[in-house]
Amino acid sequence: MFLKGIEIQGFKTFVDRVRLELGPGVTGIVGPNGSGKSNIVDAILWVLGEQSAKSLRGTRMDDVIFAGSARRRPVGMAEVTLYLDNSDASLPLDFQEVAITRRFFRSGEGEYYINKVPCRLKDIQELLLDTGSGRGGLAIVSQGRLEEILAARPEERRSVLEETAGIARYRLRKKEARQRLEAVEQDLTRLQDLIGELKDQLGPAAVEAARARRHQKLMALLNLVELILKSREMAESQNRLRRIRERWQALKSQEEELEAREEELAGRSRDIRERLARNQEARERSRVELQGLREQLVQVRGRLSLVDEKLAALARQRVEDREREGLLAREEEKLRAAAAELARQVETGREEMAALEQDLAAGRETREKLRAERDELAARLARLKEDLFQVAHERAGCHNELVRLEEKQAGMERVLEQKQRQLQELNNERERLEGLLRAGEEQLGEIEANLKALEGKKASLETELPLQEADLAAREKHLAGLKEQQRLLVARLKVLRQAQADYEGFGEGVRAILQARSRGEAACAGVLGVVVEKIEVPGELTRAIEVALGGAAQQVLVRTASEAERVIQFLKSRRHGRATILPLAWLEPRRWPNWAGWVLNEPGVVGVAAALVRSEAEIRPAVDYLLGQILVVADLRRALDLGERLRPPVRLVTLEGEVIQPRGPVTGGNTRQRAGFLQRRLEIQQGETELANLVARLNDARQQARKLASTLETGRQELRRVTEALIARRGELHNLLQRLSEYKDQLARLAEKTAVLGEELARSTTDSRELVTSRREREELLTRLEAREGELQGELTGCQEQLNACQQALAAVEQELAVNETRQQALAKAGEQLAARVEELARQKENWRRQQAELAARMTAAATATNELQENREKLAREEEWLAGAIQQAEEGLQRLDNDGSTCSQQQEELARELEELRARKGKIAAHRQQEELNLARLETTLEGSRAELEERFGPGWQEVLQKPRRHLEKEAPRLRRVLQEKLAALGEVNPGAPRVYEGLRRRFEELEQQRQDLEEGRAALEQVIAEMEKLMARQLRATLTAVQEHFAALFRELFEGGEASLELTGSDNILEAGLEIIARPPGKKPQHLALLSGGEKALTAVAFIFALLKVKPSAFCIFDEVDTALDEANVERFARLLRQFASRTQFIVISHRQGTMAAADVLYGVTMMEQGVSRLVSVRLEQLPA
């Protein structure tokens, strides 16, 4: 494997796409400082995965993108590609050439590619692992890298040896195994904590479970005792209920008599209240009118006062206006006198200014003439000087031009000969490239057609496969859901069938009878079954019929009374409890009463329960007996409406299971009872149907999933094949396009060079002929210029004398003008002051006229306002007199209304006292009656609650429980309840779920123990793997150290022409943790550490160490970046000799300024910066150069 080429675009100073074609041997890169040589090394380091901007000589990662120059704009992306020859299969890829690409965008996004296929940085690092070309190997050795190796601590220096030993892969695997081991240790720690907590919980949980079971037994006995006591209380409550109803009826009669008398008194009271209300409204209106009149009177009197004040103010204003009128007349006389004086002063100033302006005009005219004459002479003098200088300059230039033309003619003849030779070479190269380009374009068409077909097929597969994968995942998820539904449904059906087979929920006696019948015992041979077994109920009526039957659902059906007697005797003899027997021959059917037939057509009525149930004809009497007088209704609201119009013995049952007894209790709500026999039978039927459908769906889903999986696998295989073919064809296309692009670029450059060279040749021929003509013309021009120079010198002297005389006359005229201009400025200033005084006087006269007009207008307005105010005052006086009379009349009417209201109020008080006494008596009776109603309701609620509580705690058959002979319990019930309560109190609070919690904790403890054992086994396995890897790494590292030490000593002697050098392990006996120390003894010196050597000795020692590593494990390629800087010429020669020796095994790329190193290169690349900030490449194969 070796590096075939490097392609760079947009990286640092390489803005344009450039490619370095590399081959085996030594390649040199040279160029001046700052031209961008080291940017090539940075590019290689960057594409190999360097993540530190500082290592790339930057501060941020986007510093690697070309940032722009004076002539170039910044770019948005940097891209570098390394092309590796993989013909020896060193890399685990089935390609002859491997291209590794890295891109970075200014937005911060980065991309990695292997053969143009997107990948991760980790994929590139793993690809180059143990090849010596990774980031940690010797692929790039700079002067800084040498210094790092020399200055590093011994432990850090060992890492270089590890890379050479090829144990980096093992170290990575060891690190991953160590991380997994740490994760296992953490899991074990957590498990041990959990197990410890569970151990602490198991003991108390076992105690709590035992207490809970003891509590359940005591509670069962206590419930039985309380059932006995509760039945006694219910009997006593029935007697109290009858007595309370009699007392309530008597109180109801008394209350009705009092209500009639109260209605009579209330009517009279309403009439008086209406009269009082009308009186109150009239009084309110009178008060409002009176208040309004009083407010108007106050307003009128206020307005009169205001008018009087305004009249007085107008009188005072008339006096002030007359005084102001006299003052304005006196001020007018003063203004007229001042205006006459100012007019006289202005006229005098104008005459004096006119005379002065005539003198100034004459002086200025003279000055302008003299200035024009002076400027004309100065301009003529300047022109003469310029002409003289120009002639002298042209004479000198003409002489120089003659000399230059002679030299240029000789050089032109040499250039013509050289360009004619270059033009012939360019034409030959153009013909060769055109032939290559035609062949490449034919091949390009074939590859593009093949590539287009492959891309279309891949796009189709990439579109179809995700859809198929998603479809398969959905199918598998659906299949798993169906399996879980099937498992749950089968388990549910198993539980329900078992419950039906065990007659779960039936009484002890009923179960004993049914089990005896199934065993074929004679005593129970006549048993037909229980009621609930022998009827069929529609699914929507199951709840209603179960509630309607109640405890009767478990009653046992027989044909005759004798069979019933045998069954009862069987229960007594076996002590199997009690049961209710229905002899069909004895039963008298209960029909729905005719008087209630109307209800069957009411909305919301489903029908009579007996008619809604199907059964055999033999069993029909039992169905009619039990359900004939029970009506099924849709909902509770409708049932309550119907219950108000019905009477016993009928009952109503809703579809939700509420029971309504007309004129009796209403039972409903929610209980946590288990499903009855009918409900379980309905669930089994529905479950079996659902299971059959589910099995069919499950089989269909399995078949579809298998078919999809097969199709998907076929598609994946086809996609892999197409992708591999596509990558190969893209590689071929990329290489071909690069070659064609290079051919075109070379042809364009050749055409440009040919055109330029042709133009230059034509120009050179023309220039050569023109040179002879120019030379003769320059000789004639030189003679004419020398004669003109003498003429100009004489004219320059005469012009200077005339200019001096003109300047003296001009100075005298300007002095006289300055005196007159000063006097003119003084007169102008005085005139401005007089003009300002005239304007001020005009403003004062205008102000006087305005004040006079305002005064006249104000006096006229005051007279008009005085007349209007006098008329308004007379009008307000008349209005005041009328309002006083109206107020007196309103006060008299209000007094009459107050007297009538007092009479009505007195009558109302008398009636209120009588009503209050009557209502007090009625309230006492009503309170007594309500108390009796409350007692009645409370007692009925208590009785119904007691029944509901007993039915909920002991089931519908709680009365049958009381029928069992328990006389010892009935006598001792109060004492026994107290004893049981004391035992329960001593037992304290218990957790009913404690047994379940204990069982869960026990199972969890066993699971965690098993997990702990599994983790410990895994930990032991990981520790064994780590130990084996450490042994392998140590063995391999030790063998590498021995080989490197041997080669290092030999290379050191070769480079230093003598001396000794060795490698020593320090710090630890474990070679994987020990440091690596370099000991060197140059010729004539004692053995010493690197720190004590000179700079050149250190560099040469490091070179020997690097080449020793390369000899043990050759790197595919190695880049030396100015490592020879510190070497003298003799050592550079030795370094170059080593390069040539190792070039057969390792490809070297050397960046250097030293001639000895450059001489060892097979190919030289020059890096230049012809344009500021932009690097370019020039390559030369040294073997092609003439010796």
Closest among 734, 732, 727 to 114, alpha carbons compared: 727
Concatenated DSSP letters for 418-472?
HHHHHHHHHHHHHHHHHHHHHHHHHHHHHHHHHHHHHHHHHHHHHHHHHHHHHHH
State yes or no: 562 annotated in a binding site: no
Coil, helix or strand at residue 117: strand
Alpha helix segments (H runs only) across 143-167: 143-151, 154-165
Return the DSSP state at 591: P
Contact at 8 Å (CB) between 1163 and 1182?
A: yes
State yes or no: 107 annotated in a binding site: no
1021 token code pair: 């396995």
Q: How many beta carbons lie within 10 A of that of residue 703, not counting itself?
A: 10
**Distances 965 to 228, 229, 412 between C-alpha atoms, Å:** 12, 15, 147
Coil, helix or strand at residue 139: coil
Secondary structure in 3-state letters for 226-294: HHHHHHHHHHHHHHHHHHHHHHHHHHHHHHHHHHHHHHHHHHHHHHHHHHHHHHHHHHHHHHHHHHHHH
CA distance 687 to 682: 8
Please report, as a single letter, which amino acid is at residue 67.
Answer: A
**Distances 1185 to 965, 1074, 1163 between C-alpha atoms, Å:** 130, 51, 11
Please report, as a single letter, which amino acid is at residue 258.
Answer: L
Alpha helix segments (H runs only) across 955-993: 958-963, 967-987
Q: Is the dihedral of CA 395, 400, 402, 408 positive or negative?
A: negative
Please give the radius of gyration of the chain, using alpha carbons only, rounded to the nearest integer: 63
Place of tokens 């090849």: 131
Coil, helix or strand at residue 950: helix
Contact at 8 Å (CB) between 621 and 584?
A: yes
CA distance 511 to 503: 6
Closest among 589, 677, 601 to 627, alpha carbons compared: 589
Cis peptide preceding 118, ω within 30 of 0: no
Closest among 86, 113, 112 to 97, alpha carbons compared: 86
Q: How many beta carbons lie within 10 A of that of residue 1163, not counting itself?
A: 20
Place of tokens 């050795």: 141
Beta strands at 651-654 and 630-633: parallel, antiparallel or unpaired = parallel
State yes or no: 774 annotated in a binding site: no
State yes or no: 35 annotated in a binding site: yes
State yes or no: 37 annotated in a binding site: yes
State yes or no: 450 annotated in a binding site: no
Contact at 8 Å (CB) between 381 and 388?
A: no
Q: Is the dihedral of CA 1136, 1140, 1143, 1149 positive or negative?
A: positive
State yes or no: 122 annotated in a binding site: no
State yes or no: 38 annotated in a binding site: yes
Concatenated DSSP letters for 1028-1089?
HHHHHHHHHHHHHHHHHHHHHHHHHHHHHTS-EEEEEEES-SSTTT-EEEEEEE-TTS--EE
Write b or e for each residue in 1041-1077: b if 16 or more Cβ atoms lie within 10 A of its Cβ, otherwise e. Answer: bebbbebbbebbeebbeebebebebeeeeebbebbbb
Task: Report residue 97 CA to chain centroid gap.
Answer: 43
Please report, as a single letter, which amino acid is at residue 1172.
Answer: Q
Residues at the binding site are 32-39
Residues at the binding site for ATP are 32-39
